[in-house]
Chains A and B, each alone.
Chain A
C-alpha cells in the first residue's frame, strides 16, 4: 500500500540528509521524494511517497515527527488531494514519425519542448497513471532518456497542511 506524506520541515542545510537517513536506517522504502521551499521561505515541503502497511506508516510518521527539524507530517488521502508529477521524455524521432508523436502529445495535453533532427523532448504533467500511459505509447518510438520529478501534492480546499 502506498501513502503520500506531506512533510513541512525547517528550510536548513542537512534536513534532507536527516529525513533520508532515517528512512534508510529504519528500513522504510521511499518510492519518491520531492522537496522545495513553501510560501514561507523558512519552511520547505517534502512530498514523500512511501510503501508499507498501516503499522509501517504509523512508525514512519512518528519517526519523522521525532526529527527536530520536522514541523508537521500529514498523510494525504487520495480522495481529498490533488497530486501532480512531471516527466520529460527524449524520444527518437525523425521526419517520418514526428507527426505521429505530436498526435499522442496532443491527446495527453503534453508539450514538445525541444526538437532536433533525430529526437524530441516531450514534457508531460499529470498523475502517475497518465505519465505511465504516455510512456507506454512513446516507448515503441524509442525512449532515449527520461526523467520524472516525483509526486507533489496539496490537500484540496481552503484547509492546508500547515494550518
Chain B
C-alpha cells in the first residue's frame, strides 16, 4: 500500500473509498445505524437518491448499472432495510449485473444478540451474492470496499454485499486506499483458448445451417460490435435472448428476434434445424430451451462464456471456450471464414415471411398492447426501454427494434414484478440524455408505485407506460389456456385510478383509451419533460403469441391469436 494517510472515521473512509471507485450516485434509505454514513453523505459530492422502499434502491442501482456498464450502488439500514434489498440483490445475481449493496449493521458487540433491527444479512444473501463481507475491523474497510467493486465488476459480474456494523463507521482509521486487489481464490479467465477457437472456426467453415444464440453476456462484455462483425463475416443468423436484446441490431437482416417460450417461430425453427449452435454469453435457460432433450438436437454446440460453471451445466457442449466474449469473438473473426449458409439464410427468410410476429387488428378503436410498443418505437426509436414482468415485457421484447446495447433493461432470470419502475429511475439518473420508458402492467406497477414520490421529489422524468388490462395478464393467459378460464385471483380491474394517483404525487397523468390517443399521449409525455404516467387502457384478454407450452420442444410453438 502506498500514498499518504489521513486519520478519519470509518464513515468518512467509506465515502473516500466510493470516490476512488468513481461512484457518483447512490440509491438508498437511511436508518438508525446509518446515521454516521448519512452525515458524511450530507456534505459529500456523491448524489444520493432517496427512494421510498429499499427494494427500489436495489433495482435502481441495477438499472443504473445496466444503462451504463458501471457498478450500481445501493445503501440500506440494518434489519428490515437490509432484507428489503434481498429481491433486488437476487435479481442482480440471476442476471449477472455488477452491484455493490452496502448495509448497516448493529454494533459489533451486539451482533448475534437479536438486537433491535438486527438481521444476519450476510447469511441471508450468501446464496444470492457473488460474494459478501461483514466488516469486523475498520482497518479492513478500504481493502474490502476495493475487493467488493473488483469482484462485482470483473469476470461474470454480480452483486457483492458489504455489511457495516455501526461501530465500524465511527471507529478511527489512518486511511489509505490499496492500489490493487490480491485475491488468490479469484482469477477470472479473459483470454479464450486459441486451440478451441480454431476448432470452432473449422466447424463454422463446415456448417450449412449455423445459428448464433447470444445473451446478456454480450452486453456485459461490451461485445455487440464484435458480434455484429462476426455474424456478418461468417454469414450466420442471430437470435438474442431477453437479456441479450440490443446486443445485435434488431433491424439487421440476419436478426431473428428472441428464441424460446415467446420467441419468434423462425428463431425456434432455426435453432431446432441448425447443425451448429454458437452460444455466446448465455446459460441455456429453461425459458429458452423448452424441453432440453429436444433442444438443437442435431447441432454441434460451441459455448462461449466467462463462467466455466455454465459449460455443460444444462446441456452437453462440444466446443467450450471459456473467456471474455469480446476477446473470443474478436479472435473468431480473425480465424473463422464464411459458413456455407446461403441456402439456410434463404430458408430462414422464407420462414420470416411465412411466420411473422403478428397480432389481430382490433375491430373498433380499442388499443392493442402490441400497437403501443410499435408506437413507442416509432416516436422514440433510441429510447431506453425498461420493463416489469409479464405480458407487456414480452411484447416490449417482441415488437421494439433495439439497435444498441443497454437500451433494453428487464428482469430476466428472477422475473421480478415491480422491477421496471425503480430500474427505470436508475437508468434515467444514469442517462438523463435518453428518453426512459418503463413499459409496465397494472399489476407490476403497483408493486413499487410508491416510487412516484422519488421521481417527483428528485425531478427524474421517467415515463411510465401502463398497459392496463385489468388483469395479472400473464397468469390470466395461463389460466385461460391450461385452467379452463378459471381466473383465480388474477382480476384487478378498476382497483385504482392511475391518472389520479400520478396527480396525487404531483406527476403528469395521461389516460389513453383509443388507438388514436396512443401516439399523442407519448408525444405529450416526452415533450413535458416531467415525470409522467400514461394509463393505456388496452384489450383486456390479449394473449402473448406465439407460445411454447411449458415442457414442450421449442418448435412445438403455437399461435394464440384471439379471434375477433
Contact = CB atoms under 8 A, between A and B. Distances in A.
B185 interface: yes
Contacts of A67: 131, 185
A75 to B, nearest CB: 15
A14 B122 contact: yes
Interface stretch (B232-240, B308-316, B336-344, B462-470): B308-316
Interface in B308-363: 308-309, 311-313
Nearest to A25: B127
Contacts of B186: 68
A21 B127 contact: yes
B125 to A, nearest CB: 11
A29 interface: no
A5 interface: no
Interface in B262-283: none
A70 B134 CA distance: 18
B273 to A, nearest CB: 27
B492 interface: no
B309 A62 contact: yes
A83 to B, nearest CB: 25
A94 interface: no
Interface residues of B, number: 19
Given A17-B123, A25-B127, A63 B185 contact: no
Contact of A18 (B126, B151, B307): B126
Interface residues of A, number: 21
Given A14-B122, A17-B123, A68 B151 contact: yes
B318 to A, nearest CB: 15
Nearest to A42: B184
B185 A68 contact: yes
A71 B123 contact: no
A138 to B, nearest CB: 40
A22 B126 CA distance: 9
Contacts of B123: 17
B126 A21 contact: yes
A68 to B, nearest CB: 4
B127 A68 contact: no
Nearest to A24: B127
B126 to A, nearest CB: 5
Given A21-B126, A25-B127, A68 B307 contact: no
Contacts of A70: 185
Contacts of B311: 62
Interface in A59-77: 59, 62-63, 65-71
Interface string A3-39: 0000001100110011001100100000000000000
Pick the most buried of A25, A63, A66, A70: most chain B CB atoms within 10 A of its CB: A66
Nearest to B126: A21
A20 to B, nearest CB: 10
Interface string B110-131: 0000000000001100110011
Given A10-B185, A14-B122, A67-B131, 10 more contacts: A9-B185, A17-B126, A21-B126, A25-B127, A59-B313, A65-B309, A67-B185, A68-B186, A70-B185, A71-B185
17 contacts: A10-B185, A13-B134, A14-B122, A14-B134, A18-B126, A21-B126, A22-B127, A25-B127, A55-B312, A59-B313, A62-B309, A66-B309, A68-B130, A68-B185, A68-B186, A71-B184, A71-B185
Interface of A: 9-10, 13-14, 17-18, 21-22, 25, 55, 58-59, 62-63, 65-71
Interface of B: 122-123, 126-127, 130-131, 134, 136, 151, 183-186, 307-309, 311-313
